[in-house]
Amino acid sequence: MFVDAHAHLQNFPNQLNYDWDAYLKFFSIDSIVCNGTGLKDWESVHILSSSSSRIVPAYGVHPWKVMDQPDNWLDCLERYLSNDRALIGEIGLDKWVRDSDFELQKVFFMKQLELGIELKCPIVVHCLKAFGHLNKFLGRYEKIPAGFLLHSYGGPKEFVSNFLKKGAYFSFSAYFLREHKGAVREIFREIPLERILLETDAPDMKGPDFLYDKKVNSPSWIDALNPPAIISRIYEEFAKLYKLPLEDLVKQMNVNYKNFLLRA
């Protein structure tokens, strides 16, 4: 059975009126983390995760959404995190995106990071063009108690060792199979396999066209985007990258996933 460490099921059209449990079962997806990005979509994440034990909820304010949150966002976040299955995410730092207040991003990130440490809750982190800042924030702590996932990690090789010491997992997405992402693939070859997870980031971050050459029996409004079902193709290609039998990779990813989801 496959596990998908990062997705946004709430961003699919018709998402609340669809039998996701049947879909995930059909495509042998045992578990998928559905990440919220701000108060406006947390309730959808809650509804989706309540509809299927295969969907793990994560609640957080994405760095792109920090300017859109109400004053009571942190109180609301704490209420959603009272669910003992929930992770904190997707939170982070992003200097790539335009028209965002990076100083405000840092405030939101620090508050959510501290909340994750207090609750001993796994954390899902987005980072683009801000890895030095992230490294400084993490430097305040010996280790993040329940660990954190650097989703779709595309950062420099020189930060990997320190991130590992702080409790990081690193996830690999379909987008990294694009031809121009060879340098990222080389970095993943050097990360210990037991600290790697695989993700779709569905419905975003489409991979190269060859991944989608096999038709899947799901609604067109899912397949037109980056469908969760593509996780099996990501496993196949990553197994080639690591030169592992697919069965061994599936077993290891399940172990890694369970270890990441464990609260400290």
Contacts 24+ apart (CB under 8 A), 161-168: 162/135, 162/138, 163/135, 163/138, 164/191, 164/192, 164/195, 166/138, 166/141, 167/143, 168/195
Percentage of the chain lying above the pLDDT 70 cut: 98
Calculate mean pLDDT across residues 127-149.
Answer: 96
State both tokens at 174. 């379909």
Query: Which of the following CATH numbers is that of domain 2-261: 3.20.20.140, 3.40.50.2000, 3.40.50.2020, 3.40.50.300?
Result: 3.20.20.140
Asked whether residue 172 carries a pLDDT value surpassing 60, the answer given is yes
| 15 vs 7, more confident | 7
Predicted local distance difference test score (pLDDT) of residue 243? 94
- What is the average pLDDT score of the chain? 94
* Token pair 């299955």 in the structure block, residue: 85
Asked whether residue 114 carries a pLDDT value surpassing 70, the answer given is yes
Calculate mean pLDDT across residues 170-182.
Answer: 96
Asked whether residue 118 carries a pLDDT value surpassing 60, the answer given is yes
Of 13-22, 118-127, 199-208, 214-223, the range with the lowest mean pLDDT is 214-223
Predicted local distance difference test score (pLDDT) of residue 83? 76
Calculate mean pLDDT across residues 128-148.
Answer: 96
Asked whether residue 49 carries a pLDDT value surpassing 60, the answer given is yes
- Give me the half-sphere count of Cα atoms (radius 13 Å) on the Cβ side of residue 182: 2
Predicted local distance difference test score (pLDDT) of residue 31? 98
Predicted local distance difference test score (pLDDT) of residue 62? 98
Predicted local distance difference test score (pLDDT) of residue 38? 98
Q: How far apart are CA 264 and CA 88, in angstroms?
A: 14
Q: How far apart are CA 94 and CA 107, in angstroms?
A: 13
Of 32-36, 170-174, 204-208, the range with the lowest mean pLDDT is 204-208
Predicted local distance difference test score (pLDDT) of residue 17? 87
Q: How confident is the model at residue 245 (pLDDT cuts 50, 70, 90)?
A: very high
Taken in order 3, 7, 9, 10, the sign of the CA dihedral is: positive
Single pTM value for the model: 0.96
Asked whether residue 158 carries a pLDDT value surpassing 80, the answer given is yes
Residue extents of the structural domains in the chain: 2-261
Amino acid at the residue 162: N
Asked whether residue 264 carries a pLDDT value surpassing 60, the answer given is no
State both tokens at 130. 């801000």
Taking residue 18's Cβ as centre, other Cβ atoms within 10 Å add up to 18
